[in-house]
Chains A and B, each alone.
Chain A
Amino acid sequence: MTQRILPGFRTGLSLTLTYLAIIVLVPLLACIVRAMSLSWSEFVAAVWTPRTRSAYALTFGASFVAAVLSTGIGTLIAWVLVRYEFYGKRLFDSLVDLPFALPTAVAGLVFSGLYVPSGWIGQFLAPLGIEAAYSRLGIVLVLVFIGFPFVVRAVQPVLETLEKDVEEASACMGASRWQTFRRVILPTLKPAIVTGFALSLARGLGEYGSVVFISGNMPFDTEIAPVLIVAKLEAFAYAEATAIATILLVSSFAMQIAINLLERRTRRGLK
């Protein structure tokens, strides 16, 4: 038994559990208990109205579309960073982390400023009839900004460990470069790509700070679920806010478990 040679197991575990309980578990439990104090019909009446349905649909829809786009862009960037040499690559690599470091409120503020019809980018979209600020497109844009680094950072390490000889073997057997990519490289990358997708989707589902600036927050049109919770809170409708929050909470539990399983699978693939 090597496990108890080192000191600090009891102290460490009890401190960890106590802190986790105070900061995370008890507060989350309070939310669930509060939601359970509602009767079933009250709960359903709170979480299943036309307004909440359109908010869930938008939250999941926008996050899903953004996660798909992030997956494409993120995989492309990871590929370029690992496989090619070009001027300014190191700077490019560290800029990928900017969305992690930049406060979401700043991202929301800048994106809304850029995409209004008088903004730097909006002025080119307006003549085409594309409204990017205060629209659903704006929500997707800002979620892609927040989500794509997750994909890059999930795919990059796996791509780095990919052995050259499998590609050579594939080429020797007469595969074209595209066939090698499709049949040899892509299947190896798949777990990492799926993990990146799940991470950016999870982040998108809960995102609030950036979306609130760019979406316009119109009920039935551009109101996402977290914005709806805040609107209910500001109207002192605590029970309704709690019920909707519980729905979000349960879906984030599910996402977290899925991500942990995926990450473990990717790590096993790396070994």
Chain B
Amino acid sequence: MSDATPTSGTLLIPPPPRPANQDPLWVRVLLIGMAVGAMTVLVIIPVVNVFWQALSPGIGSYLRTLTEDPDTLHSILLTLTVTPLAVLLNTAFGIVAAWTVTRFRFFGRTLLVTLIDLPISVSPVVAGLVFVLLFGTGGWFHTPGVRVLFSTPGLILATTFITLPLVVRELIPVMEAIGMDEEIAAVSLGASPWEIFRRVTLPNIRWGLLYGIILCNARAMGEFGAVYVVSGHIAGQTNTMPLQIEQMFQGFNTPGAFAVASLLTVLAAVTLVLKVIVEEKSRKLIRDAKKVDVPG
């Protein structure tokens, strides 16, 4: 009985037409094919190629390059020193600036947001150059005996400049979406500023904050142009991992360059995975916050 019903139904009622916003099959197949093709050429082949090139001299020589070459080891260490410092500075700044910009309305607020965004569009080479001008001979902050250029402080400054907007830019939309009702409630209940931040703001923004930190970290690790200009690229002293790649490439040590590049690619892949997880969480948080806001 129940078997017969659908058959007679299809006989009586003509099949429903294709929904108005759905494309014909051949268009779908063609467009998906083109998109996948573009991604394959632009992203997938290059990633596979990094590991292929790095591992083609054999796993033994790959590991030797990464663990026995003192310059490479030093570059890994330097990247692990510079990146956390730049990320820490910009995270602290990001929280303060996002609070100021989203919780208050004041004259010049839009200009401030534009200025915060500025490092994104400044060429990394120019970013490096401005520090050379500031701290080089004849510069405003040039102090004999204090080495900023061609040493770690210069690398940290240049990296901080380039990655400055990355945390704030993620926090501003999140804090705007969440709104400040909860914080105002906390004030009216007598909470201290620190309590408001710790117990109301931070739990609300934590995923957005983490997302910003991840983006900032990825950019800081990979920064090349600005660091290239301020570092003087001295192997074993001021070469970060990307600079080490360039130096090995120029010295025709292609397998070495790809070995270091493969490490950075793994870190990029880890970044992507973390990003997907955090994005999911923060989207959920904003959705929940909006659900509460709806009256009724």
- Residues 2-29 of chain B, each 1 if its beta carbon lies under 8 Å from chain A, else 0: 0000000000000000001101100110
**Interface pair A97/B130, CB less than 8 Å apart:** no
Whether a CB of chain B sits under 8 angstroms from the CB of A52 is no
Restricting to A1-33, which residues have a CB under 8 Å from any CB of B?
Answer: 2-9, 11-13, 15-17, 19-20, 23-28, 30-31
- Give Cα A229–Cα B184 distance, bound, in whole angstroms: 51
Q: How far is the CA of A79 from the CA of B34 in the complex (A)?
A: 11
Interface check B208, CB cutoff 8 A: no
Per-residue interface assignment for chain B, residues 121 to 136, with 1 indicating a CB less than 8 Å from any chain A CB and 0 otherwise:
1111111011111101
A-B contact pairs, 15 of them (CB 8 A): A6-B187, A20-B93, A73-B38, A77-B38, A84-B32, A96-B43, A100-B215, A104-B242, A105-B224, A109-B249, A110-B261, A121-B45, A226-B126, A252-B123, A255-B121
- The interface residues of chain A lying within 8 Å CB-to-CB of B96 are 11-12, 15-16, 19
Chain A proximity of B27: nearest CB distance (Å): 8
A34 contacts B133, C-beta separation under 8 Å: yes
Chain B positions within 8 Å of A155 at CB level: none
What number of A-B contacts does a CB cutoff of 8 Å give?
295
A73 to B118, CA, bound (A): 27
Contacts of B237 in A (CB 8 A): none
List the B residue with the shortest CB-CB distance to A263: B117
The reply to whether A19 and B93 contact each other, CB–CB distance below 8 Å, is yes
The residues in A between 75 and 131 inclusive whose CB is less than 8 angstroms from any CB of B are: 76-77, 79-81, 83-84, 86, 92, 94-107, 109-111, 113-114, 120-121
Answer yes or no: B88 CB below 8 A from chain A CBs: no
A260 within 8 A of B: yes
- Distance to closest chain B CB from A60 (angstroms): 13
B222 touches A104 (CB 8 A): yes
Q: Which residue of B lies closest to A103 (CB)?
A: B222
B118 pairs with A230, CB closer than 8 A: no
- Closest A residue to B86 using CB positions: A23
Residues of B close to A233: CB separation below 8 A: 129, 132, 229
Does A242 interact with chain B (Cβ within 8 Å)?
yes
B38 touches A114 (CB 8 A): no
Q: Which 7 A-B pairs have the closest CB atoms?
A: A103-B222, A206-B123, A209-B224, A208-B225, A171-B20, A12-B100, A105-B242
Say which size band chain B's interface belongs to. 35 or more
Give, as a whole number of angstroms, the nearest-CB distance from A206 to chain B.
3
- When A16-B97, A110-B49 are in contact, do A226 and B193 touch as well, CB less than 8 Å? no
Segment at the A interface, from B57-65, B66-74, B103-111, B285-293: B103-111
Are B187 and A206 in contact (CB-based, < 8 A)?
no
A99 to B41, CA, bound (A): 13
A144 to B273, CA, bound (A): 23
A residues contacting the other copy or chain, number (CB 8 A): 95
Bound CA–CA A106/B221 (angstroms):
12
- Residue B134 contacts which of A27, A144, A226 (CB distance < 8 angstroms)? A27
What secondary structure prevails in chain B residues at the interface with A? helix
Contact B133 A208 (CB under 8 A): no
**Min C-beta distance of A59 to chain B, whole Å:** 9
Query: Distance (Å) between the CB of A238 and the closest chain B CB?
Result: 7
Does A235 sit within 8 A of B, measured CB to CB?
Answer: no
Q: A109 to B99, alpha carbons, bound, how many Å?
A: 40
A98 CA to B113 CA in the complex, in Å? 27
Asked whether A113 lies within 8 Å of B49 as measured between CB atoms, the reply is: yes
With A76-B31, A105-B242 in contact, is A30–B126 under 8 Å at CB?
Answer: no
Residues of B within 8 A of A225 (CB): 123
- In the bound complex, do residue B41 and residue A101 qualify as a contact, i.e. CB atoms below 8 Å apart? no
Most buried by B among A24, A28, A76, A233: A24
A179 at the interface (CB under 8 A from B): no
Task: Give CA–CA (A97, B129) in the complex, Å.
Answer: 29
Neighbouring A residues of B115 by C-beta, 8 Å: 20, 24-25
B275 touches A172 (CB 8 A): no
B221 touches A103 (CB 8 A): yes
Residue numbers in B under 8 Å from A241 (CB-CB): 129
For B41, list chain A residues within 8 Å (CB): 121
With A30-B134, A106-B261, A260-B113 as known contacts, state yes or no: A98 contacts B268, CB within 8 Å: yes
Cβ contact within 8 Å between A168 and B123: no
Query: Which residues on the B side are within 8 Å of A171 (C-beta)?
Result: 20-21
- Tell me if B50 and A248 are in contact (CB < 8 A): no
Residues in chain B near residue A73, CB distance under 8 A: 38, 42
| CB <8 Å contact, B161 and A27 | yes
Query: B257 in the interface, Cβ–Cβ < 8 Å?
Result: yes
Q: Are B103 and A109 in contact, with the CB atoms below 8 A? A: no
A-B contact sample (7 more), CB < 8 A, given A12-B99, A13-B106, A145-B46:
A3-B106, A19-B93, A20-B112, A103-B241, A106-B268, A109-B261, A202-B120
